[in-house]
Chains A and B, each alone.
Chain A
Amino acid sequence: MNSGIVFDLDGTLITCENKQKFVLYSILNSYTTIAPEVLNNWWELKRSGFNTEQALTLIGISEAKFITDKWVKLVENFTFCSLDIPFQDSLSSLEYLKTNQISPVAILTARFNAPQVYQAVSRFGFDKYIDDVIVVKPNEAIERKENYLKKIKPILYIGDSELDQLAAQKSDTKFVALSRGQRSEMFLRKNGIIQIEKDLKFLKNDSFFLQLQTSNSNFSN
Chain B
Amino acid sequence: MKASKIILLSSAGTGTAFASVLALRRNWGTSVMIILADSNPRNLVTSSLFSDKYFQVPLNNDIKFKKGLERIIIEENVDTYIPHIDHEIYIGALLYEEKNINKELKMQVKNSVIADICDDKFKTFLFLSENNILTPHCYLPSEVIHQNESLISKPRKGFGSKIVNLSKTKNTISDYNSDCFIIQQECKKPEITVDVCYDRKRDFFTYVCRERIETKSGVCSKARLFYDEKIENIAFKIADKLDLSSFCFQLMKLKEEWAVTDINARLGAGTAMSVAAGNDFFSGMYAIIWEEDPTVYFQPLQKETFVTRQYSEFIMNL
Contacts and interface: CB of A to CB of B under 8 A. Distances in A.
Contacts of B296: 88
A26 to B, nearest CB: 4
Interface stretch (B23-31, B114-122, B164-172): B23-31
Contacts of A84: 26
Contact of A83 (B25, B48, B49, B51): B25
Interface stretch (A16-24, A93-101, A141-149, A189-197): A16-24
Contacts of B33: 36
Contacts of B30: 21, 36-37, 39-40
B275 interface: yes
Contact of B52 (A36, A78, A79): A36
Contact of B50 (A25, A31, A37): A25
Given A22-B50, A82-B22, A30 B299 contact: no
A21 B278 CA distance: 22
A85 B27 contact: yes
B29 A18 contact: yes
Nearest to A79: B312
A24 to B, nearest CB: 11
A125 interface: yes
Interface in A1-43: 17-18, 21-22, 25-27, 29-31, 36-37, 39-40
Task: Pick the most buried of A82, A124, A125: most chain B CB atoms within 10 A of its CB.
Answer: A82
Interface in A123-138: 123-125, 128
Contacts of A21: 29-30
A105 B33 CA distance: 39
B25 A22 contact: yes
Given A70-B318, A85-B27, A26 B1 contact: no
Nearest to A125: B299
Interface string B295-318: 010010010000000001011111
Contacts of B3: 36
A30 B318 contact: yes
B276 interface: yes
Interface size class of A (residues with CB under 8 A): 20 to 34
B275 A30 contact: no
B49 A25 contact: yes
B316 A30 contact: yes
B314 A26 contact: yes
B277 interface: yes
Contacts of A18: 25-26, 29
A77 interface: yes
B299 A26 contact: no
A85 B277 CA distance: 13
A40 B52 CA distance: 14
A183 to B, nearest CB: 19
B299 A85 contact: no
Task: Pick the most buried of B48, B275, B318: most chain A CB atoms within 10 A of its CB.
Answer: B318
Interface in B33-79: 33, 48-52
B51 A29 contact: yes
A77 B318 contact: no
Nearest to B309: A78
A61 to B, nearest CB: 13
Given A17-B29, A30-B49, A125 B312 contact: no
B49 A29 contact: yes
A95 to B, nearest CB: 13
Nearest to A32: B318
Contact of A124 (B299, B302, B317): B299
B49 A85 contact: no
11 contacts: A25-B49, A29-B51, A30-B314, A30-B315, A30-B318, A36-B1, A36-B52, A70-B318, A83-B22, A85-B27, A123-B278
Interface of B: 1, 3, 22, 25-27, 29-30, 33, 48-52, 275-278, 296, 299, 302, 312, 314-318
